[in-house]
């Protein structure tokens, strides 16, 4: 077989005005080459919730290529809306986000590759508790 699997993940964090920060991510995973869509290859499997927020965690996506973009506006809850010092409070962020993804799938019966486009926009709250991140989102 002649193919390669390419993975690219680019992230950028900016703080245009304190305490607001912007987070951007572009991720791509894909198989390329003469045998990239060979039916003997197992598909790449992703839990959709990890890529585009707002979809059921049980939605599992099989794909041969994917490209995902995420953008977030983050603001720390402590010290921004109250009098609590940032060093004495839990690391909780309020966020607004938008996610989008393009997923290429090969039909089981063969034929042309089909592209599935998914988008979401929403807001949420994120708690970083000792390295464990808990996020609760409202998504449209």
Report how far residue 1's alpha carbon sits from residue 71's, in angstroms, rounded to the nearest whole number: 37
Residues 6+ apart with CB under 8 A from 108: none
The pLDDT value given to residue 80? 63
Residues of the chain with pLDDT under 50: none
Instruction: Tell me the three state secondary structure of residue 79.
Output: coil
pLDDT, tens digit, 9 for 90 and up, residues 50-80: 889 988 777 777 788 899 999 999 999 876 6
Residues in Cβ contact with 16 at an 8 Å cutoff, skipping those fewer than 6 apart: 22
- DSSP of 82-111: SS--GGGS--EEEEEEEEEEEEEE--TT--
Q: Which pLDDT score is estimated for 88?
A: 62
Q: Report pLDDT for 139.
A: 93
What pLDDT, on the 0 to 100 scale, is given for residue 86?
53
């Amino acid at each position: 077989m002649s193919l390669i699997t390419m993975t690219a993940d680019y992230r950028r964090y900016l703080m245009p005005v304190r305490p607001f920060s912007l987070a951007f991510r572009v991720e791509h995973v894909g198989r390329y080459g003469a045998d990239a869509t060979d039916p003997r290859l197992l598909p790449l499997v992703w839990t959709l919730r990890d890529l585009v927020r707002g979809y059921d965690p049980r939605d599992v996506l099989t794909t041969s290529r994917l490209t995902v973009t995420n953008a977030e506006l983050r603001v720390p809850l402590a010290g921004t809306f109250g009098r609590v010092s940032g060093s004495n409070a839990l690391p909780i962020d309020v966020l607004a986000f938008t996610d989008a993804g393009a997923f290429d799938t090969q039909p089981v019966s063969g034929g042309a590759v089909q592209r599935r486009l998914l988008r979401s926009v929403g807001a949420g709250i994120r708690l970083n508790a000792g390295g464990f991140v808990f996020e609760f989102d409202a998504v449209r």
